[in-house]
Structure 1
Amino acid sequence: MPHSSKYLDRIAGSSGGQEYKQQAFVALDLQPGQVVLDMGCGPGTDLPVLAEAVTSTGSVIGIDHAAIFVEEARERVAAMPWVQVRVGDAHQLPLEDDSVDRARADRVIQHVEDPAAAMAEFRRVLRPGGIAVIAEPDWDTLATGPGDLEVNRAFNRFVCAVRVRNAIVGRQLPGLAEGAGLEVLDVFASTPLLRDFRLASKIYGLNRNTARAVEAGYIDPAAAERWVAELKAGPFVATCTVYVAVLRNAG
């Protein structure tokens, strides 16, 4: 499910996005002088916060597979020379072994071809004692109201089967980490609650993915129309669980 830079910035700026991001930043335990990797940095939404935490005595490396995002991220941190942004693949990070103190990925593993390989790359580039914090949603937990429960479930089945490559990877993070040789220090969940249908529709794709689910035969057209109308009429609520795993290279 490709995203625009505006979409990524919108999630980061939403109340739900800020909630789990703040928890993840605390768990990352950033200190001045550290080398930090932001894997899948996108348009650089979070790079300035990382750079301020490690100060100019440290360094931040943002890596993304999309050249257009890398260019945008470079512009965003142009005044911070201790931040580097590179094009790279999560399965083969352009970094030396044992080269970073901290690493993070925010809603990235859900899109990669091989989550286990990406997790192994975290293990490879982290120095002994280094910490990684990975945040991923679990799209099967998307719950909305009001409206038909079965349509909500059909919407989730469509998103998990068609729109997101690794849709339930959030709940799989501990197992992937242990398989890569990383120590699981903590796992916690954030369940941000949205009450604005328009914002939730932009973040979760309620309008566009309902239309796609109808085209794909997952939802009856009339049922889809009723469901969206009921959500818009409200009082609207929506939540989707975000898992955050705090991991360590025990060396």
Structure 2
Amino acid sequence: MTPPSSTLRAADQIAYLDQAAASDPGRQYKQQLLTALDLRPGHVVLDVGCGPGTDLPALANAVGDRGAVIGIDHDPAMLEQAQQRTAAHTHVTVRAGDAHALPLDDASIDRARTDRVLQHLTDPRQALAELRRVVRPGGLVALAEPDWDTLAIDAADTATSRAYTRYVTSKVVRNAAIGRQLGRLLNDVGFEVASIQATVAMFHDYQAADAILRMPAVAQRAWQSGALDENAARTWLTSLTNGPFLAAFTFFTAIGRVPTTNS
């Protein structure tokens, strides 16, 4: 649900996002988010930070030909991939844009979503204020974000596990605790908070976890920066692959509703 994505090539970023979406935790929360949006035929739905278009076809199928889906992303490589993946859906539009200043009219959207986007933004509150501006009264937004302060990786060397987690939360992810903040931020910008759910993403298999957490790559960055001792980190990584494995973090989904009145 987050890699050190800034260090990955575009093709690797796309592959990572596809892997995350296909994982068991990924499929679970994405279905929760889709259900919570309560999409109906004819709705206009917005996906901010749509990436390579992973979720756009499902949104398009839910709103039907009478509806419209708008995917917005700032990355040209992601936009190109999203356009290719949605070529068969004539009611899907993919546009370049900034989550902090959406290229959309006021109250022009019925439903909107962000999926693991706010954790990377310079100003998540401004992005949510933009969603508040473009979503119609009575409309819904659905947000999904991990809380990386809850990351736990079991190892006999607990000191290195803790140092690794501190590095993730302080250096790898800009807004590492955004998951727990979603309800408060929605309230701050004028949404009614309809629901907040927390689920634990748990991994018992090292390979499955590494597809999401990218532990060797992150650990290497950490020891190169001096945040981890290299020898201890290498031994720690080896221990994770050799025995029973457990890693977990908490994932939050929040639903906000635009009030129908100013009261």
Q: How would you bin the TM-score normalised by the shorter chain? A: over 0.9
1:72 correspondence with 2:81: yes
Aligned-residue offset at 1:145 = 2.3
Aligned to 1:79, what secondary structure does the other structure show? coil
Question: How far, CA to CA, are the matches of 1:147 and 1:124 in structure 2?
Answer: 49
Question: How far, CA to CA, are the matches of 1:180 and 1:73 in structure 2?
Answer: 30
Aligned to 1:191, what secondary structure does the other structure show? strand
Aligned to 2:149, what secondary structure does the other structure show? helix
Match of 1:34 among 21, 43, 53: 43
CA contact (8 A) 2:132 2:258 kept: yes
Aligned-residue offset at 1:190 = 1.7
Q: Which residue does the alignment assign to 1:241?
A: 250
Structure 2: runs of 5 or more not aligned? none
Q: Which residue does the alignment assign to 2:138?
A: 129
Aligned-residue offset at 1:52 = 0.5
Aligned-residue offset at 1:202 = 2.6
Question: How far, CA to CA, are the matches of 1:192 and 1:161 in structure 2?
Answer: 21
Greater mean alpha carbon deviation, residues 153-162 or residues 88-97: 153-162
Amino-acid identity (%): 49
Q: Which residue does the alignment assign to 1:227?
A: 236
Q: Give CA deviations for 1:205-246 in whole Å, capped at 9, x if unaligned.
A: 211111111112222222212211111012112112111111
CA contact (8 A) 2:155 2:161 kept: no
Greater mean alpha carbon deviation, residues 148-157 or residues 183-192: 148-157
Aligned-residue offset at 1:165 = 0.9
Q: Which residue does the alignment assign to 2:167?
A: 158
Q: Which residue does the alignment assign to 1:25?
A: 34
Aligned-residue offset at 1:8 = 0.5
Question: How far, CA to CA, are the matches of 2:176 and 2:196 in structure 1?
Answer: 18
Letter aligned with residue 35 of structure 1: V
Aligned to 1:121, what secondary structure does the other structure show? helix
Aligned-residue offset at 1:71 = 0.9
1:181 correspondence with 2:179: no
Letter aligned with residue 120 of structure 2: H
Question: How far, CA to CA, are the matches of 1:152 and 1:32 in structure 2?
Answer: 48
Question: How far, CA to CA, are the matches of 1:240 and 1:147 in structure 2?
Answer: 19
Question: How far, CA to CA, are the matches of 1:128 and 1:152 in structure 2?
Answer: 46
Question: How far, CA to CA, are the matches of 1:146 and 1:25 in structure 2?
Answer: 36
Aligned-residue offset at 1:124 = 0.4
Aligned to 1:62, what secondary structure does the other structure show? strand
Q: Which residue does the alignment assign to 1:52?
A: 61
Aligned to 1:226, what secondary structure does the other structure show? helix
Question: How far, CA to CA, are the matches of 1:74 and 1:24 in structure 2?
Answer: 22
Question: How far, CA to CA, are the matches of 1:120 and 1:234 in structure 2?
Answer: 46
CA contact (8 A) 1:99 1:126 kept: yes
The total of aligned residue pairs comes to 251
CA contact (8 A) 1:104 1:134 kept: yes
Greater mean alpha carbon deviation, residues 150-159 or residues 92-101: 150-159
Letter aligned with residue 133 of structure 2: R
Greater mean alpha carbon deviation, residues 33-42 or residues 184-193: 184-193
TM-score between the two structures when normalised by the length of structure 1: 0.97
Q: Which residue does the alignment assign to 1:211?
A: 220
Letter aligned with residue 52 of structure 2: P
Q: Which residue does the alignment assign to 2:202?
A: 193
Q: Give CA deviations for 1:50-108 in whole Å, capped at 9, x if unaligned.
A: 00011111000000010111111011000100000001000001111001110000000
Question: How far, CA to CA, are the matches of 1:223 and 1:149 in structure 2?
Answer: 11
1:95 correspondence with 2:104: yes
1:86 correspondence with 2:91: no
Aligned-residue offset at 1:195 = 2.2
Aligned to 1:139, what secondary structure does the other structure show? strand
TM-score between the two structures when normalised by the length of structure 2: 0.92
Aligned-residue offset at 1:150 = 2.1
Moved over 6 A (4+): none
